[in-house]
Structure 1
Amino acid sequence: MNRLADKVAVVTGANSGVGAAVSRLFAAEGAKVVMSARRAEALEEVAAQIAEFGGETLVVPTDISKPDDPESLMSAAMERYGRIDVLVNNAGVLESGLKPIDRYTDEDLD
């Protein structure tokens, strides 16, 4: 199918769940996938699954709650591939329970 042939996709939260599934699907569609999450070992497991069917990945352990980490992630993607075509912001930082989106304040985000 190769709908994403030669595209570069950055996926945060790629170590499990939706992020891992997106990474596998994008790689199966021909994308080069830059995978990020805090747990490096879990990222490597997903990358190994992708490599089994010939997909290409770059694993960049990243903690999006640390201001410098997302910048380092983008720099690594640009250094390796020279561009970013797709960005999947899947990772989240959650210290307490979820609120409905219409009740989430700027202070909650801070």
Structure 2
Amino acid sequence: MTVTVTVPITELTDVIRSKNAGPFELTLDVVFTEHAQYELVKRESLLTRGRVAELYGVPPDDVAEPVFYDPARAVKITMRRPLVSGDVGDTDVYGAQQHAPLLSLRLPRA
């Protein structure tokens, strides 16, 4: 029996951030420290729209397919904002604090 040990995504990345992609969408960026880790996540589909939707508690249709950018070891995920930027009730006009749910993600180490 093989046991897969997972670690917090924060141990595997240099950057995890969010920002607005216009007033209606957020972009989540994840930049991995090592190329092997990035390749594992990409090859094994460990960061999918379904997984992101689950972390954020939104329908999968609100999350775009992740875009992998090999030269930077980066993944970009765009999703619909729960509230329009600056609308009544919006507490993060710039979308800069919306990466927090990603911080709870655990992944296998390459």
TM tier, smaller:
under 0.3
Structure richer in helix, relative to its length? 1
**TM norm structure 1:** 0.27
Task: Specify which structure has the higher proportion of strand.
Answer: 2
Using the size of structure 2 for normalisation, the TM-score is: 0.27
Higher relative contact order structure (alpha carbons within 8 Å, sequence separation ≥ 6): 2
